[in-house]
Structure formats: structure tokens, C-alpha cells
């Protein structure tokens, strides 16, 4: 199943793939070259399709833990000063998504959206230290009855050119449901209350909607 944000791109890519395959078959007379071009075109289409895949996942919905909002690798676990919303120290957990990861963003907790803001910005590589504050990004804060306010930030990477965010201030959201999408490489930062018990380790693979990021200690 594919994410709705990929509908237009998938349609265009499929159409172009068919056109290029027909042109290659008609005009390229050298066998090995024709096959190489066809395989390259098909590979491009497969990459587009896999990028926009949206696997259905059964989520254990509970207020007692925070789940991974995206697929990827845990690249940061540290105490930092969060300067946009909390303006105090928070525990940051960051997940980096490569182009081959599922790029659906899911709500990490149940609760009410208290803050949602889009920031235009640069397109530094997603693991750059300044990506969290200088890249194109969205900041969303969800208030949960157990953890209090949890901030997550969708961050564009060097290839990402559009962040889709469905969270609007005042909404009641359900853990694990579709919160948005980031196109072509990115990262998501979670900012948790100090003292939250983190259940993941650096370089661990996270699965959106499945991996438990933290529990209340």
C-alpha cells in the first residue's frame, strides 16, 4: 500500500517509465544498451514506489510509553536546551531516515496538539548538528496525560523538499496514526521531559509505530 502523498509522483513516474521503455525498445538497437536503459528506468520506478510505501502496522496504543514516530536509525540520545517551545532542558532522541526507509510520520503519543508550526529553511544533510534549527522543519507539541508535553520535529534533509504535517493546534490525536510525511530523506527529533526512561540505544534500528522509545520512570 502506498501513502496518499505519493499519488501524483507515482502516477507521473509510472507514466514516464512506460514512455521510456517504449522509446528504448523502439529506438535503441544495441541489445545490451537497450536492456541496460530499461533496467535503469525500472529501477528508478521501484525506488519511487518503495519510498512511498505505507505498511499497515498494529500499534499497541497506551499512554505508558512513547513510540517511534518514524522508521530509521537512532542517531542522538542526549540532554539539550530546547529553545523554540520549552526554552529549557529536554532529553533529545533523534531518528535518521535514509531514502530507503518508510517516511510516514506517526504520532508518538495520544493527546492534544498544543503547538504546530512550519519553518522554512536550509537543506543541510539531516545528520548535521545545525539541521534541527536551520533546515526546513515543523515543530509539533502533543500533551499526553502521563508524559505531559512531548515535542517532535520533522526535519528535511539534503534531498527532502517538502514536509507534510497533518497536526493542527487543538486536535486530539491517536498514538501511531498518520501524522504526516517527509519526502526523500530526513530526520525526526523527539524532545522528552528530563528523567524519562529511554528504551532505545544509539545506532538501534527503530520501526515507526512499533519500537518503544521511552517509558515513564
Tens digits of per-residue pLDDT, 67-101?
999 999 999 999 999 999 999 999 999 999 887 88
Q: Are 45 and 85 within one domain?
A: no
Q: Mean of the pLDDT values across residues 18-35? A: 88
The catalytic residue among 13, 94, 132, 186 is 186
Residue 57 within a domain: no
Q: Mean of the pLDDT values across residues 171-198? A: 91
Residue 186: active-site member: yes
Tell me if 174 sits within 8 A of 104, measured CB to CB. no
Q: Are 25 and 87 within one domain?
A: no
Amino acid 87: pLDDT: 95
**What is the Cα–Cα distance from 160 to 15, expressed in whole angstroms?**
23
**What is the Cα–Cα distance from 87 to 142, expressed in whole angstroms?**
16
The CATH number of residue 133's host domain is 2.70.70
Residue 45 within a domain: yes
**What is the Cα–Cα distance from 3 to 25, expressed in whole angstroms?**
31
The answer to whether residue 17 scores a pLDDT higher than 60 is yes
Q: Mean of the pLDDT values across residues 191-203? A: 95
Residue 58 within a domain: no
The answer to whether residue 130 scores a pLDDT higher than 70 is no
- Domain hosting 139: range is 65-215
pTM of the predicted protein model? 0.85
Q: Are 130 and 187 within one domain?
A: yes
Q: Are 45 and 135 within one domain?
A: no
Q: Are 193 and 133 within one domain?
A: yes
Residue 181 within a domain: yes
DSSP β-ladder status, 111-119 and 172-173? antiparallel
Q: Are 132 and 188 within one domain?
A: yes
Amino acid at each position: 500500500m502506498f501513502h496518499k502523498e505519493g499519488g501524483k509522483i507515482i502516477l507521473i513516474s509510472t507514466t514516464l517509465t512506460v514512455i521510456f521503455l517504449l522509446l528504448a525498445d523502439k529506438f535503441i538497437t544495441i541489445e545490451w544498451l537497450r536492456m541496460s536503459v530499461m533496467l535503469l528506468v525500472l529501477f528508478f520506478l521501484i525506488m519511487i514506489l518503495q519510498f512511498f510505501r505505507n505498511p499497515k502496522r498494529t500499534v499497541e496504543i497506551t499512554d505508558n510509553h512513547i513510540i517511534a514516530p518514524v522508521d530509521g536509525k537512532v542517531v542522538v540520545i542526549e540532554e539539550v536546551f530546547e529553545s523554540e517551545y520549552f526554552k529549557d532542558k529536554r532529553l533529545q532522541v533523534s531518528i535518521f531516515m535514509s531514502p530507503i526507509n518508510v517516511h510516514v510520520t506517526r504520532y508518538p503519543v495520544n493527546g492534544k496538539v498544543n503547538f504546530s508550526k512550519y519553518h522554512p529553511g536550509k537543506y543541510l544533510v539531516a545528520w548535521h548538528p545545525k539541521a534541527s534549527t536551520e533546515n526546513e522543519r515543523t515543530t509539533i507539541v502533543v500533551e499526553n496525560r502521563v508524559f505531559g508535553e512531548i515535542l517532535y520535529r520533522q526535519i528535511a534533509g539534503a534531498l527532502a523538499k517538502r514536509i507534510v504535517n497533518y497536526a493542527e493546534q487543538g486536535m486530539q490525536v491517536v498514538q501511531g496514526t498518520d501524522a504526516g510525511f517527509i519526502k526523500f530523506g530526513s530526520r525526526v527529533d523527539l524532545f522528552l521531559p528530563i528523567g524519562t526512561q529511554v528504551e532505545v540505544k544509539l545506532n538501534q534500528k527503530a520501526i515507526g509505530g512499533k519500537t518503544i522509545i521511552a517509558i515513564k520512570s
